Structure 1
Amino acid sequence: MALAGALGYLGRSVRDKLRATLGGDDADVLLVTAHPDDECMFFTPTIRTLVERTGAAGGGPESAGDGCGVALLCLSNGDAAGLGAVREKELLEAAEGLGVPRDDVTVLNDERLQDGMRTTWPAKAVCGAVRREVERLRSKPLRRKRRLCTIITFDAGGVSGHPNHRACWEGVSELMRDTAFCRKHNIRAWTLRSEPLFLKYLGPFGAAARYLQHAYRPRLSAAAVCGLGGVSAAAWAMRAHESQMVWFRHFYLAFTTYTMVNILDPLVAMPT
């Protein structure tokens, strides 16, 4: 408990640094995920750090603040079990609880991007979806005033190894290779670091270990830290995903480091 509390205090101290690294108030932030519930299972510290106002605490809609504007693009509606329509509604509620307005949440139901462990998503389809969302966001009058566009998604490992997660990275990487488009919208991209299994389920101990490792090389990455506040917020948001609340989700939320610490690395797309 003491360690988790210390992480929460640390989170408040690094909040401004993360915002500045990602562009601060001068940036649009677009989070690209694969499925409804990815946002709370993996990205809660990042979302909370970017959106919550100074002094906000706990989970639920009251935590939504006047921090950075975050939009969410979910590339599928999670229809693997035929619950796509239900999961879309759940995502809107969960995202709003984390501080992302419903109007800034886009959920796709593209036949090329269907939820499934055996489903291969074409990188071009993912790239096209992200490109269209960037253009849509940048067309809004308030967002046009912002200088940067920051995209955040999974890394090549996809955190859990899910092929749909990895496809997010592949598609965003392809977009980043379009230098003309990226220059036009001043796009930067960051990826959520996949943690080794021995750290992934050590709760506050794993979160502290990961942050300390980051602190030794801060120029190479960015950190979002929440402590117990992240666990609480993720649990609140996950309850909105009622159709997905099987027993092991409770275990995951209680012990994963991803509800406490996110380490983000810059995405440098290599030419093909």
Structure 2
Amino acid sequence: MTRDLNLTTPTLLVVAHPDDECMFFTPTLLSFEKVEVICLTDGGYRGKEDGILRRGEMKRSCEEVFDVEGCHFASIPGVDDTPVSGEWSGKEDKVVELIESMVKKLGNGKKAVNIVTFDEGGVSGHCNHCDCSAILQSWFDELPEEEGGSESRGSFLSGVRVRLFQLRTVETYLKYSMHLGYPRLTLPYWVHGASCEFVLASKEGMTFARRGMEMHESQYVWYRRLFVLFSSYVCTNVLVERRQQGQNYHSNRGKSVAALVVIGAMLALNITGFGLYPNAAFILLTINRYFQWLGGELFRRNGV
């Protein structure tokens, strides 16, 4: 579901830590044709030697597994791997300078550049993930808006159109639903068009995520092995395009009845394709969540 999203446009993926690229953004790396990755920290929470080790691991993951165009590290003093919120305060301008230089480099001779990063929830809520989101949102909102009025997409930096996409943080029950969460993740697209949301899915996501994490040998402990096995993020990324104030992306597609048909078909495929699995409880919970969400959506659409 990538209508209005050009997968050949040069794309900059901005992450906080080494291993973020394969734990959370595998479908993104597999979908875009030309990607460069910038990591704002070296992951050296335990010290300088750990940071050097993790830089090498991420380089191998990006180059040997995902074949990205380039893997870069910010090396900004004070922008470190930390669990303490607010530690990056006052360094935002340095991050922005780096991002702008990367965008100009990627956009050299091109008309547009995509940027992909976390949303406000940061997938896991880690403060560094959330800081990535906050810094890029604030910067993007200050860029000159593209000509075209409320139907325009993106902003401009030195003559290059910039579009910012943020990885949607999903509910916990969807986060660990593997591919079974796909119907719920795509529901907004079917119900009301959600033309600012783009779904990137990969059948080989789990394989590539596992191979990428194997390169991050120092981090591939048991709970991250379980994450790769059960996480929906290794199979599906929902990217939400950032809108500047005044931009309004419409779609006339999507009726509630059509959405229910799609939901039913998806659930039927899940049930028959996996023989009910031991996932009957999950399927029942998913149905319940579908109708909770759909009820809220119908109320919203009717101004209730």
- Band the TM-score falls in, shorter-chain normalisation: 0.7 to 0.9
* Conserved 8 A contact 2:103-2:113: no
1:169 counterpart = 2:136: no
Displacement, 1:166? 0.3
Q: Which runs of 5+ in 2 are unaligned?
A: 146-154, 247-304
Evaluate the alpha carbon distance shift between residue 255 and residue 174 of structure 1 in structure 2; reply closer, same or farther with a 3 A threshold.
same
Deviations 1:44-83 (A, max 9, x none): 0011011xxxxxxxxxxxxxxxxx2111110000011221
Determine the C-alpha separation between the residues in 2 that align with 1:201 and 1:264: 18
Determine the C-alpha separation between the residues in 1 that align with 2:102 and 2:169: 29
Alignment of 1:97-112 (within 5 A): 97-101=65-69, 104-112=70-78
Determine the C-alpha separation between the residues in 2 that align with 1:84 and 1:269: 36
Match of 1:49 among 31, 34, 54: 31
Determine the C-alpha separation between the residues in 2 that align with 1:237 and 1:105: 14
SS of the residue 1:32 aligns to: strand
Letter in 2 for 1:162: H
Letter in 1 for 2:182: A
Work out which of the two has the higher radius of gyration on C-alpha atoms and give 1 or 2.
Answer: 2
Q: Match of 1:198?
A: 173
Letter in 2 for 1:196: E
Displacement, 1:263? 0.3
Q: Normalised by the size of structure 2, how large is the TM-score?
A: 0.70
Q: CA RMSD in A?
A: 2.2
* Conserved 8 A contact 1:121-1:167: no
Q: Which moved more, 1:109-118 or 1:34-43?
A: 109-118
SS of the residue 1:237 aligns to: helix
Displacement, 1:121? 4.4
Evaluate the alpha carbon distance shift between residue 256 and residue 136 of structure 1 in structure 2; reply closer, same or farther with a 3 A threshold.
closer
Deviations 1:94-140 (A, max 9, x none): 11111213xx2111232321111114244663453244243245246
1:40 counterpart = 2:14: no
Deviations 1:120-167 (A, max 9, x none): 244663453244243245246xx4121011111000010100000000
Match of 2:199 among 220, 223, 232: 223
Evaluate the alpha carbon distance shift between residue 122 and residue 111 of structure 1 in structure 2; reply closer, same or farther with a 3 A threshold.
same
Q: Match of 2:61?
A: 94
Displacement, 1:264? 0.6
Evaluate the alpha carbon distance shift between residue 24 and residue 251 of structure 1 in structure 2; reply closer, same or farther with a 3 A threshold.
closer
Evaluate the alpha carbon distance shift between residue 111 and residue 72 of structure 1 in structure 2; reply closer, same or farther with a 3 A threshold.
same
Matched-pair identity in %: 27
Evaluate the alpha carbon distance shift between residue 157 and residue 268 of structure 1 in structure 2; reply closer, same or farther with a 3 A threshold.
same
Q: Match of 2:151?
A: none
* Conserved 8 A contact 1:36-1:91: yes
Letter in 2 for 1:224: L
Determine the C-alpha separation between the residues in 2 that align with 1:80 and 1:91: 15
Alignment of 1:76-225 (within 5 A): 76-82=41-47, 83-96=50-63, 97-101=65-69, 104-122=70-88, 125-126=91-92, 128-139=94-105, 143-180=107-144, 182-183=155-156, 184=158, 185-216=160-191, 217-225=193-201
Evaluate the alpha carbon distance shift between residue 226 and residue 212 of structure 1 in structure 2; reply closer, same or farther with a 3 A threshold.
farther
Greater RCO (Cα-Cα under 8 Å, separation 6 or more): 1
Determine the C-alpha separation between the residues in 2 that align with 1:160 and 1:33: 13
SS of the residue 1:253 aligns to: helix
SS of the residue 1:117 aligns to: coil
Match of 2:216 among 238, 241, 258: 241
Determine the C-alpha separation between the residues in 1 that align with 2:245 and 2:87: 20
Q: Which runs of 5+ in 1 are unaligned?
A: 1-13, 51-67
Determine the C-alpha separation between the residues in 2 that align with 1:75 and 1:169: 12
Query: Segments of 4+ in structure 1 off by > 4 A?
Result: none
